[in-house]
Structure 1
Amino acid sequence: MTAAPTTPPIFDGHNDLILRLLRGAATAEGVAAGLPDGHIDLPRAIKGGFGGGFFAIFVASPSNRSERQEEMTRAEYDLPLPPMIPFEEGLETTLRGAEALEALEAAGAVTICRTVPELETAIHGPRMAAIMHIEGAEGIDPEFETLHQLHARGLRSLGPVWSRPTIFGHGVPFRFPSTPDTGPGLTEHGKRLVSECNKLGIMLDLSHLNEQGFDDVASASDAPLVATHSNAWAVTPHSRNLTDRQLGIIAESDGMVGLNFASAFLRPDGQMDSDFSLDLMLRHIDHLIKFLGEDRVGFGSDFDGALVPKDIRDCAGLPALRAAMTSHGIDSVLMEKLCYGNWLRVLRRTWRD
C-alpha cells in the first residue's frame, strides 16, 4: 500500500493555535515537543507536511463554544453576534497574543516571517513558518499607533473584524442559509485602516467581513483582495462563504482564497458535523478554481478553531487531503500552487518584497 504523500508542504491561511496558548490549553514548549490534543504541534506538522501558516491573534468573547457548535447542527440557525470588545481589553489580549507567537519562536516551534524570502525558506525548514496575523482589530487604535508598533514586531496580515463589530466595520454572522449581505460595511475608521495597511504592506483579510464590508475594501484597497479562510457560497449557502460575484472581484484584483476546513462551511447542509467525504472539499476547490483560476486558490484550515473533516482530524492528517487531490486529477504543478505557491505569489504582490 502506497503511503499518503507528505509533500509539497502545505502553507495555511488561518489557524487559532495562539488562542489555545492564551487560554492556557497549551504551552509554547508543548507545541514544540508535542501536544495530546488540538490540531497543531511541531511533531504532527512534520508528520503531515504542514509547512506553517497565518497564526491568528484573536480576542475571544465570553461564550460557550460547545453550545454554539450544537446550534450549528440544526437545519437552520442564526447565532447572535457578541457585542463590541472595548479597546483596552482588545489591546491587552492582542499584545499577549504577539508575545505568545514570539514564545513559540523562542521554543523552537515556529519561525516568524516578515518577508517572502524568509517565508519561502521557512516553509521548507525544520520549524513551522509563521505569519503574525490579527483576526479582528479590537487592539488597534484609530490613530494606528498600535498598528505601527505591531508591524515593527512582525505583523503582516490583518482582518478588520471577526464577525462581531469593531470601530472599523461590521462582520458577517454565523447564519445558515444566508447570503453574506447582512448589514453595513466599513466605517470611516475602517476605510482609513485599509489605506494605512496598504501603505505598510499589511495584507487585509476579508474572511469575516459581510458583503458590504467586502465591497468597501475592494473600493478602498490598492492591494490584491484575499480571504484567508472562506469557501464557495454556491456549494454551501452559508453567510461566511463567498458568492460568485465576490469571487469574480477577487480574481480581478489578482488576489486569492484559502479553503476553510470548518465542516459547516464545507457541507451543503451547513451542519457542524465532521462525518463526510473529502469529496466535498474537492467540490469547493473545483468551484473556486473555476472562478479564480489555478493561481488564486490555497488553503485556510481554521485548525484549532473549527471542527474539521474526520478524515483529516489534525495537521498530521494532511496527507489524506493530498491523496484525495491526486486521485481527483490534480497534477504536481497545480498541487504545488494550491499547497503553498499561490500564497507566496499573492504575498509578493502585497508585501512588495
Structure 2
Amino acid sequence: MSDRLPIFDGHNDVLLRLLNKRSPDAAEQFVAGDGEGHIDLPRAIKGGFAGGMFAVYISSKDDIGDVEEMMRGASYDVPLPRLITAPEALPTALAMMAILFRIERASAGRVKVCRTAKEIRDCVARGVLAAVLHIEGAEAIDENLDSLEVFYQAGLRSLGPVWSRPTIFGHGVPFRYPAGPDTGPGLTDAGKALVKACNELGIAIDLSHLNEQGFWDVARLSKAPLIATHSNVHAISQHTRNLTDRQLAAIRESGGMVGLNFATCFLRSDGQVDPATPIDQMLRHIDYLIQHLGIEGVGFGSDFDGAVVPQEIADVAGLDSLRTALRKRGFTDDVLRKLCYENWINVLERSWGG
C-alpha cells in the first residue's frame, strides 16, 4: 500500500482567500498555483489532498478586528460580531460559489464539484479533486428558506447554521478560552425549520460552531448523523469550540463523525495560536476521538486557509508529515484509509441519503 493515501478533508476556507484577492482571475490562479495561503491545485496534488468541504463564509473582520490577534493572551474572550442579514450576505455568498464553479471549469477536469457520495468515490479513484459546496454560517439563507432550495440545486450539500456570530437560526460559540460550549440559547424556530429542511433535501448539518444548546437541539431534531466538520476535544483543550465527552457520545450514537481541526488554538491545552505546535498534539486529539467515537467516527477537518496550523504541516503540500506521524503511531493501512477518506464519504452518503 502506498504511503500516499488520499485525504478528503472536512473544512477549508480557500474560497474566502480567493475572494479577498479581488482578482477576476482568482480561480485560474488557484488552478495554476498561486503559492499563497494553504491550498492551491498544484500543492493539493503534491500533498495527496483528495478534496473536501469548500466553505462559503461571510467575514466579520471589519466588525471586530483580527480575531487571531485577540486570541494571543493567556485567556481571552473575543466579542461576538453583529448579525448579518440575508440581503447583506447573499452577494458575497454568490461570489464565493462562483469562484468554486470557475475553478471547476478552469481545471479542465482536475476538479469536480460533487453532489453525491458516488461522485466523491469516483474522483478519489481517478485522482480528481472532489469539492463539496459547504456554507459556514447561514447568513445568506432567508427565513422562508427559498435560497436554500436554490443553493441545493447549485450543489450545496453541507451547511453550518452559524459561525460564531448569531444568525436568525441560532447562536454560535464565541472564541473564548478557557470556557465550555454552553454559552447561550439554542436554535430559534427558524433554525428548527432549517434542520428539518436540510434533512428533507439531503444537506449535512455541521455542528462545529454551534453552542451546546444548539447542538442538543439538532441532536433531538435531526434524523441524520451528527457531524462536526472541524472540531476538537474539550477535555484536552478547554476552548468553547471544542466538543465535550457528552457531545462526543451523542455523535457516536448517531453514527456521525468529527473532523480534526488543525488550528493550533483548538489543539493546544493553553489555547494559544502558535505554529510551533507539534504534530504529537494532533495525535493526542485523534487518539481521544477514536477512543470516544470509534475508528469510523474520525477524520480530518483542517481549516486550511482559515487558521494557523502546525508548521510541521505548513500547508496542504505538507500532509505527508501527518501521514508519517500516524504510521509511526502504529496506524495500519486499513485504519488510515478510514481516517483519510472512507469515513467522510460514508457519513456523507448516510446524511445525503445516497
Looking at structure 2, the residues matched to 102 and 67 of structure 1 have their Cα atoms a distance apart, in angstroms, of 29
Q: How does 1:103-114 map to 2 (within 5 A)?
A: 103-108=102-107, 110-114=111-115
Q: How does 1:259-270 map to 2 (within 5 A)?
A: 259-270=260-271
Which residue, out of 1, 7, 19, partners 1:10?
A: 7
In structure 1, what is the equivalent of residue 77 of structure 2? 78
Q: CA distance change for structure 1 residues 36 and 80 in 2, over 3 Å: closer, same or farther?
A: same
Aligned-partner residue type, residue 42 of structure 2: P
In structure 2, what is the equivalent of residue 94 of structure 1? 93
- Percent of aligned pairs with the same residue? 57
In structure 2, what is the equivalent of residue 172 of structure 1? 173
Looking at structure 2, the residues matched to 65 and 39 of structure 1 have their Cα atoms a distance apart, in angstroms, of 24
In structure 2, what is the equivalent of residue 254 of structure 1? 255
Structure 1, 168-177 or 19-28: larger mean CA deviation: 19-28
Looking at structure 1, the residues matched to 268 and 125 of structure 2 have their Cα atoms a distance apart, in angstroms, of 32
Aligned-partner residue type, residue 83 of structure 2: M
1:220 Cα shift? 0.7
In structure 1, what is the equivalent of residue 307 of structure 2? 306
Looking at structure 1, the residues matched to 65 and 185 of structure 2 have their Cα atoms a distance apart, in angstroms, of 29
Looking at structure 2, the residues matched to 7 and 124 of structure 1 have their Cα atoms a distance apart, in angstroms, of 13
- Residues 114-155 of structure 1 deviation map (CA, whole Å, 9 limit, x = unaligned): 011101111233432100000000011111110000100100
Q: How does 1:36-75 map to 2 (within 5 A)?
A: 36-63=35-62, 67-75=66-74
Aligned-partner residue type, residue 86 of structure 1: T
Structure 2 gaps, min length 5: none
Conservation of the 8 A alpha-carbon contact between 1:233 and 1:241: yes
Residue 21 of structure 2 corresponds to residue 24 of structure 1? yes
Looking at structure 1, the residues matched to 307 and 128 of structure 2 have their Cα atoms a distance apart, in angstroms, of 23
Q: How does 1:278-293 map to 2 (within 5 A)?
A: 278-293=279-294
Aligned residues: 349
1:25 Cα shift? 6.0
Looking at structure 2, the residues matched to 178 and 42 of structure 1 have their Cα atoms a distance apart, in angstroms, of 38
Looking at structure 1, the residues matched to 64 and 129 of structure 2 have their Cα atoms a distance apart, in angstroms, of 27
SS in 1 for 2:296: coil
Structure 1, 107-116 or 158-167: larger mean CA deviation: 107-116
Residue 143 of structure 2 corresponds to residue 146 of structure 1? no
SS in 2 for 1:298: strand
Looking at structure 2, the residues matched to 58 and 95 of structure 1 have their Cα atoms a distance apart, in angstroms, of 11
Q: CA distance change for structure 1 residues 157 and 219 in 2, over 3 Å: closer, same or farther?
A: same
Conservation of the 8 A alpha-carbon contact between 1:185 and 1:216: yes
Coordinate RMSD, CA, aligned: 1.3
Looking at structure 2, the residues matched to 239 and 91 of structure 1 have their Cα atoms a distance apart, in angstroms, of 28
SS in 1 for 2:126: coil
Looking at structure 2, the residues matched to 245 and 342 of structure 1 have their Cα atoms a distance apart, in angstroms, of 21
TM-score (ref. length: structure 2): 0.96
Looking at structure 1, the residues matched to 92 and 98 of structure 2 have their Cα atoms a distance apart, in angstroms, of 10
1:107 Cα shift? 1.1
Residue 327 of structure 2 corresponds to residue 330 of structure 1? no
Aligned-partner residue type, residue 102 of structure 2: A
1:65 Cα shift? 8.8
In structure 2, what is the equivalent of residue 351 of structure 1? 352
Structure 1 segments (4+ residues) deviating >4 Å? none
Conservation of the 8 A alpha-carbon contact between 1:114 and 1:154: yes
Q: How does 1:202-221 map to 2 (within 5 A)?
A: 202-221=203-222
SS in 2 for 1:11: strand
Looking at structure 1, the residues matched to 17 and 259 of structure 2 have their Cα atoms a distance apart, in angstroms, of 22
Conservation of the 8 A alpha-carbon contact between 2:165 and 2:172: yes
1:23 Cα shift? 1.3
Structure 1 gaps, min length 5: none
SS in 2 for 1:124: helix
Looking at structure 1, the residues matched to 259 and 66 of structure 2 have their Cα atoms a distance apart, in angstroms, of 27
- Residues 254-280 of structure 1 deviation map (CA, whole Å, 9 limit, x = unaligned): 000000000100011000011021100
Structure 1, 302-311 or 31-40: larger mean CA deviation: 31-40
In structure 1, what is the equivalent of residue 32 of structure 2? 33
Structure 1, 58-67 or 103-112: larger mean CA deviation: 58-67
TM-score (ref. length: structure 1): 0.96
- Residues 172-195 of structure 1 deviation map (CA, whole Å, 9 limit, x = unaligned): 000000000111110000000000
Q: How does 1:309-320 map to 2 (within 5 A)?
A: 309-320=310-321
Conservation of the 8 A alpha-carbon contact between 1:6 and 1:48: no
Looking at structure 2, the residues matched to 132 and 196 of structure 1 have their Cα atoms a distance apart, in angstroms, of 17
